[in-house]
Each structure stands twice: as structure tokens, then as C-alpha cells.
Amino acid sequence: MLLNRAPTQTQQAGFSGWTVRSPVVCSVPCGKDRFAQMAQRAETFFPCDGLSGQLDQIAATELREEDKLRDQSLAAMREWIRQNGRLHRCRTDDRFLLRFLRVKKFSVPMACEMLERYLTMRQTYPRWFARLDPEDADLGAVLDACCLVPIGRDPASGRIVIFGVVRNFDAQRYNSDTMIRLNMLVAEALLDEEANQIAGFTHIFDNGGMTMAHVTCWTLDNLAGYLRSVINCVPVRLKENHFVSVPTFAAQISKYCLSFASEKLRARIHCHSTVEELRAKVSPELLPLEYGGNGATLKVLNERFREFLRSKRTTLLELDEMEIDLKDPREAAVHEDVGEVVADGAVGSFRKLSID
């Protein structure tokens, strides 16, 4: 079973105990249910009590995850990192590497390719990725405005649900760089949690009260770069997206953008004219009190999230210590044994890029 696996050779010395390129044996806590120990291994914002069997099933059927392939894939990916002359510093712990392996359904070549793109994106766009500090004044301001808040975990799908209120973002004061940084902060803080890696994310955006300023604050470079990062570089499973009360002008722009999207991506986008329509699709147990749900208010949920972010601050800032040589022209040299690992069950999925 997925959740009963033994510890592997994973954690490495350096960077506050999380990476160098010479491996050492890790002493990771292990027991009958790994998810029961997630609070010890990684702070869990929304508990997944009672979901371990469901997450096992998702991992096996959607991600092709099983003990032997996972352990071989982790070992192969670490060896590839060790041999890759472009990667000067990189996390090699299980939780970090599994972000990429799971989103690429344990295709080691594709996971390695995405890791390189992720590190390249981080250094190409430092204004989005560098110093994702929850205590930063601008990030703190948009967080406290409840622009983007995790509101719960959907028991039906196991997914964490993120709620955004577009009108709460001060588009006169901040530009799209701040909006992207907020999204990256939330994603990075939650991606170390195995439940989120496996089940993925649901996003809900309230677009009521949105103005043209929320559109014009986006430059074409930022829009294109952000879309590239989400689809090709950031290892997150975006499984469902709900947009509520989208103004006519924004709907026309969205329709144009979606004309370039894949059918799979379009199928995951749901538009609702009113909050009432949203309530018909999303469990009231999840929705915040302001939206007729049984959950806490956005303010209370945000206060909890801010506390969680403070506990993750060191980990978030240490991401800046990873380094890839952008001047090195050589292509990624995939370890020769990777093909044998992939052949155990994930063959074929790495031949084309796709939205998971």
C-alpha cells in the first residue's frame, strides 16, 4: 500500500538539512499510516483524516503510483540531479521530488524536465519567485485583504479548495507581479503536503465587483509567462476551476484566452452567473459564511492560513538557495537507467507535455 511504505534514502545534509548532492540515509518516521504522521513530516493546513484510503486509490489509478516504482523513480531522479552539471543546488527530499513525479505520473524523464523548467523559471522571473516571505509588507497586505485563501478540503475528492476574491485585490496599488507572487506563495506553501500532490487543487474565484483595472494591471509578458509557468513549470494538479459573477468585459477576454487552451483544460473550467449557482455545485460545508456556506468567515480562515504560513517561512525562503546554471548550454542529461525505471509502469506518458 502507498501509505505504508518504508523510509527511503531521501533527506540530505545542507541547506538547513534538506539538500546537497551526496546522499545520506534518512531517518524519516514511518508507521502504518504515513498520513497520520504528516503533522510531523510537514505541517498540514487542512487535515486529511479518513482520506488515506481514498488518496491511496487516487495515487494508484490516476498517478500509477506504487511502492516499487515510486522508490525506483526517486532514486533515479536523485542520480540524475547528481549527474546534472547545470544543477548547482537542489532539494532532493521525497516531498519535493514527488511534486514532479506525481504531476507527471511517475515518468522520470518528464519529471526531470519539469524540475529544470521550474528552476529556470524561478531564476528567470525572480520578481515572482524570489523571497516568497509571508512577512513581506505587500504580500501581507494582499493576504490580509483575503484575496486568496484556502477554505477547506473537499471530502468527496480529497482536494484542497482555494477561494479568491478578485475585487479585494487593490489593482490601483499593486500590479500583476504581486498577484502572481501571491499565487506562488500559496502554491509553494501547500505543495509539500502529500494530499495536495495526490488529489490536487480546486480554485474558486468570485469576480463580482471586478473592474477593468484588474485586467489592465496584467502586461502581455506577465500573462504569457504566468500561463507558461502554471502549465509547464509549476508541479501542481489544477483539477477544477470555478468562476463566479464574471463581468461581461472579462468574460469576452476569458473566452478569447480559452480559445487557445486544450479541451482538457476547458473542461475543468466552470462559470457561474451567481453565487446561488455556485452553491449548487460546491458543498455548503466548504463555502465561507459570507457565501451562504457553513464554513468560517474568510477573515477567520485567513488568520489560520497566516499562522500556517509563518510556520512555513523558513522552508519558503530556503527555496531561493536552489540554483541552476542558466548560461550552461548543455541539455539535461537523463540518467541512462531512467528508461528502465519508467518501463516498470509509466512508459509512454513522457513523450508529450500535457496538463494533468
Provide the residue ranges of all domains of the chain, joining segments of one domain with +: 2-127, 131-315
| Per-residue confidence (pLDDT) for residue 342, from 0 to 100 | 35
| Per-residue confidence (pLDDT) for residue 142, from 0 to 100 | 96
Q: Which residues pair with 202 in a beta bridge?
A: 161, 240
Phi, psi of 247 (to 5 degrees): -60, 155
Q: Is 80 helix (H, G, I), strand (E, B) or coil?
A: helix
Question: What is the per-residue pLDDT across 79-92, written as a single tens digit (0 to 9) for each?
Answer: 999 999 999 999 99
Mean pLDDT of 171-191: 95
Question: What is the per-residue pLDDT across 327-350, written as a single tens digit (0 to 9) for each?
Answer: 876 554 443 333 333 333 333 333
| Per-residue confidence (pLDDT) for residue 97, from 0 to 100 | 98
Written in H, E and C, the secondary structure of 299-336 is HHHHHHHHHHHHHHHHHHHHHHHCEECCCCCCCCCCCC
| Per-residue confidence (pLDDT) for residue 22, from 0 to 100 | 37
Answer whether residue 205 shows pLDDT above 70: yes
The percent of residues in the chain predicted with pLDDT above 90, rounded, is 62
Mean pLDDT of 229-244: 88
Helices 298-318 and 176-190, axial angle in degrees (round to 10): 80
Answer whether residue 261 shows pLDDT above 60: yes
Count of CA atoms in the C-beta half-sphere (13 A) of 48: 32
Most confident of 105-119, 231-245, 315-329, 341-355: 105-119
Say what the pTM is.
0.81
pLDDT band at 16 (very low <50, low <70, confident <90, very high): very low
| Per-residue confidence (pLDDT) for residue 47, from 0 to 100 | 75
Would you say the CATH fold of 131-315 matches that of 2-127?
A: no
| Per-residue confidence (pLDDT) for residue 219, from 0 to 100 | 83
Distances (CA, A) of 267 to 234, 271, 351: 20, 11, 23
Question: What is the per-residue pLDDT across 106-156, written as a single tens digit (0 to 9) for each?
Answer: 999 999 999 999 999 999 999 999 999 999 999 999 999 999 999 999 989
| Per-residue confidence (pLDDT) for residue 333, from 0 to 100 | 42
Selecting from 1.10.8, 1.10.3290, 2.60.40, 1.10.3420, what CATH number does the domain 2-127 have?
A: 1.10.8
Query: What is the layout of strands, in order, in the sheet containing 148-153?
Result: 148-153, 160-165, 201-206, 238-244, 269-272
pLDDT band at 229 (very low <50, low <70, confident <90, very high): confident
Architecture category of domain 131-315 in CATH: 3-Layer(aba) Sandwich (3.40)
Contacts of 66 (CB under 8 A, 6+ apart): 2, 60, 345
| Length of the chain in terms of residues written | 356
| Residue 119 CB coordination number (10 Å) | 23
pLDDT band at 10 (very low <50, low <70, confident <90, very high): very low
| String of DSSP letters for 149-188 | EEEEE-TTT--EEEEEEGGGS-TTT--HHHHHHHHHHHHH
The helix (H) or strand (E) run that includes residue 126 is: helix 126-129
| Per-residue confidence (pLDDT) for residue 286, from 0 to 100 | 92
pLDDT band at 356 (very low <50, low <70, confident <90, very high): low
Answer whether residue 169 shows pLDDT above 80: yes
Q: Is 30 helix (H, G, I), strand (E, B) or coil?
A: coil
- Reference 106, options 2, 181, 204; nearest CA is 2
Distances (CA, A) of 206 to 11, 25, 148, 306: 40, 47, 10, 21
Residue written as grid cell 468567515: 297
Mean pLDDT of 296-314: 96
| Per-residue confidence (pLDDT) for residue 44, from 0 to 100 | 65
Q: ∠ CA 106-223-95 to the nearest 5 degrees?
A: 25
- Reference 46, options 203, 158, 204, 164; nearest CA is 158
How far apart (Å, rounded) are the C-alpha atoms in residues 169 and 173? 9
Kindly report the average pLDDT of the chain as a whole number. 81
Q: Is the CB of residue 64 less than 8 Å from the CB of residue 346? A: yes
